[in-house]
């Protein structure tokens, strides 16, 4: 195995080990209160970690060229799942979003898997030929139509964070493929109109924006999460308050084991702990970028770039929310946050990248 691949696997394993420790620390009080079992969340995540490692191993052995052949079928399955999850009785509503299929205490989020499905399809589409991309009106329209279709289905759940990750990733793929620059100007205008429309349809999104600009305007409502997150990060200092000693997880910071787990890490391990986490993500992303740059096969290059870029976007979005740079989006921190679907899709993506590295 190549040195880059070994470092990539090492960074992923270290992040998942840290995840189990921090999910227990962040969730045991709430788990004891709600389920009378302080290990509830960490046990669930541990099961997904084991399943994810098995998936990582299997996917890393599957020749990535199979995804080229099955790209249309994979995308079709993703679309069907996104439609089925919207049907009452099939999809489960949590925190106001119908985004999951559930069996007992376990649930799967199809929008997470649609990220990989659309990246595979777009990579195949772009790898066929770049000539048609010069005529962006004809060449890009099929991808844009499918992108907006998937984004629309995800917004019906609604899940704005995942939808934005998908949009930004596909636009980045089109950019590196050499799409005419005029397309991006038109798309920016379309995006601005779309955002205005989404705010008009659901005014709570404007509340999130105003609370982001001034969380103290509604400290017990829309600004509550950001304020509590900053209260967690602030006292951490250089070395933090110590493992299990976070105060904000005591029913102050909502969902500390999911979207805001980085806040608990910063509180308990301080700046040093935060830098360790950022270093592990930097190592992971550098390895993925190195593998991407070495590819000569167009499909492999686009696929590797898409999978890497969506991880980069997700990490940046989560950390930006945690420190108050952007409004709350509901995006998890890959490999660290509690959540089976996010973990499995991230590990599947890493497995594909490892296979690309091995075969090229």
In terms of average pLDDT, the best of 209-213, 257-261, 329-333 is 257-261
204 band by pLDDT with thresholds 50, 70 and 90:
low
Q: What is the pLDDT of residue 329?
A: 81
Cβ atoms of 248 and 235 closer than 8 Å: no
Say what the alpha-carbon torsion angle 251, 256, 259, 263 is, to the nearest 10 degrees. Answer: 110
Averaged pLDDT, 210-218: 72
Strand 92-94: give its sheet, edge to edge.
Answer: 92-94, 97-103, 106-108
> Is residue 205 very low, low, confident or very high in pLDDT (cuts 50, 70, 90)?
low
Is the per-residue pLDDT at 248 higher than 60? yes
The C-alpha atoms of residue 221 and residue 226 are separated, in whole angstroms, by 10
- pLDDT category at 97 given cuts 50, 70, 90 is confident
Output the pLDDT for position 332.
92
For tokens 């950022």, what's the residue? 278
Contact status, residue 331 vs residue 165, Cβ threshold 8 Å: yes
Task: Return the pLDDT at 210.
Answer: 67
Upstream peptide bond of 97 is cis (omega within 30 degrees of 0): no
- The domain spans of the chain are 3-359
Q: Assess contact for 311 and 288: CB atoms under 8 A.
A: yes
pLDDT of res. 90:
82
Higher pLDDT, 236 or 262: 262
Instruction: Give one word for 330, left, alpha or beta, with left for phi > 0 and alpha for psi -120 to 50.
Output: left
pLDDT in tens, 269-315: 999 999 999 999 999 999 999 999 999 999 999 999 999 999 999 99
Max mean pLDDT among 88-92, 251-255, 289-293 falls in 289-293
Q: H/E element holding 360?
A: none
Q: Contacts for 356-360 with beta carbons within 8 Å, 24 or more apart?
A: 356/64, 356/291, 356/295, 356/300, 356/303, 356/304, 357/2, 357/4, 357/5, 357/291, 357/294, 358/1, 358/2, 358/5, 358/60, 359/63, 359/64, 359/65, 359/300, 360/294, 360/295, 360/296, 360/297, 360/300
Percent of the chain past pLDDT 90, that is, above it, reads 59
Structure tokens at 56: 């990582």
Q: How many other C-beta atoms can be found within 10 angstroms of the C-beta atom of residue 338?
A: 25
Q: Can you tell me the mean pLDDT for 230-249?
A: 91
Phi, psi of 124 (to 5 degrees): -65, -45
CB 99, CB 91: distance < 8 Å? yes
pLDDT at 142 over 60: yes
Pure H helices in the chain? 3-35, 40-61, 65-69, 71-84, 110-128, 136-139, 141-155, 160-177, 181-201, 204-213, 224-233, 261-293, 298-322, 340-359
pLDDT at residue number 191: 73
Q: Of 96, 112, 99, give the one whose Cα is nearest residue 204.
A: 96
Q: Which of 208-222, 233-247, 303-317, 343-357 has the lowest mean pLDDT?
A: 208-222
What is the structure's pLDDT at 241? 93
pLDDT digits (tens, 9 = 90+) for 39-74: 999 999 999 999 999 999 999 999 999 999 999 999
Section 219-231 average pLDDT? 82
Pairing type for strands 106-108 and 92-94 reads: unpaired
Q: Sorting pLDDT into bands at 50, 70 and 90, what band is 129?
A: low
More confident residue, 218 or 84: 84
Average pLDDT, integer, range 256-278: 95
Question: What integer pLDDT is reported at residue 186 of this predicted model?
Answer: 76
The Cα angle at residue 308 between residues 121 and 269, in degrees rounded to 5: 145
3 state SS of 284: helix
**CA–CA dist 155, 166 (Å, integer):** 12
> In angstroms, rounded to a whole number, what is the distance separating the alpha carbons of residues 259 and 110?
18
The answer on pLDDT for 105 being more than 70 is: no
Mean pLDDT over each residue of the chain, to the nearest integer: 88
pLDDT at res. 226:
86
Average pLDDT over every residue of 233-239: 89
Answer yes or no: is pLDDT of 132 > 80. Answer: no
- pLDDT (0 to 100) of residue 21: 97
The stretch 322-326 carries a mean pLDDT of 87
Rounded Cα distance between 340 and 107, Å, is 8
Q: Which residue has the higher pLDDT, 77 or 215?
A: 77
């Amino acid at each position: 195995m190549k040195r880059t691949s070994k470092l990539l696997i090492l960074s992923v394993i270290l992040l998942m080990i840290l995840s189990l420790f921090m999910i227990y620390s962040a969730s045991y009080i709430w788990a004891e209160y709600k389920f009378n079992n302080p290990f509830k969340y960490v046990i669930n995540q541990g099961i997904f970690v084991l399943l994810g490692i098995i998936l990582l191993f299997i996917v890393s052995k599957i020749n990535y060229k199979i995804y080229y052949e099955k790209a249309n079928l994979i995308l079709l399955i993703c679309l069907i799942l996104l439609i089925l999850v919207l049907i009452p009785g099939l999809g489960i509503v949590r925190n106001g979003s119908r985004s999951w299929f559930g069996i007992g205490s376990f649930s799967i989020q199809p929008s997470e898997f649609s990220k990989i499905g659309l990246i595979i399809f777009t990579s195949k589409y772009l790898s066929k030929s770049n000539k048609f991309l010069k005529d962006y009106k004809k060449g890009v329209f099929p991808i844009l139509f499918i992108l907006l279709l998937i984004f629309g289905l995800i917004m019906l759940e609604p899940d704005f964070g995942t939808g934005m990750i998908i949009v930004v990733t596909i636009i980045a793929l089109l950019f590196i493929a050499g799409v005419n620059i005029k397309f991006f100007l038109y798309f920016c205008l379309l995006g601005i109109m779309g955002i205005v429309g989404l705010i008009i349809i659901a005014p709570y999104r404007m509340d999130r924006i105003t609370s982001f600009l001034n969380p103290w305007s509604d400290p017990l409502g829309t600004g509550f999460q950001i304020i509590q997150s900053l209260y967690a990060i602030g006292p951490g200092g250089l070395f933090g308050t110590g493992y299990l000693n976070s105060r904000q997880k005591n029913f102050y910071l909502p969902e500390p084991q999911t979207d805001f787990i980085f806040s608990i890490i910063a509180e308990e391990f301080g700046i040093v702990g935060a830098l360790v986490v950022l270093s592990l993500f930097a190592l992971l992303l550098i390895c993925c970028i190195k593998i991407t740059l070495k590819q000569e096969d167009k499909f492999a290059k686009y696929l590797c770039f898409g999978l890497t870029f969506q991880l980069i976007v997700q990490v940046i979005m989560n950390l930006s929310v945690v420190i108050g740079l952007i409004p709350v989006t509901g995006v998890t921190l890959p490999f660290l946050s509690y959540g089976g679907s996010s973990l499995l899709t991230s590990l599947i993506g890493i497995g594909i990248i490892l296979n690309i590295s091995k075969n090229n």
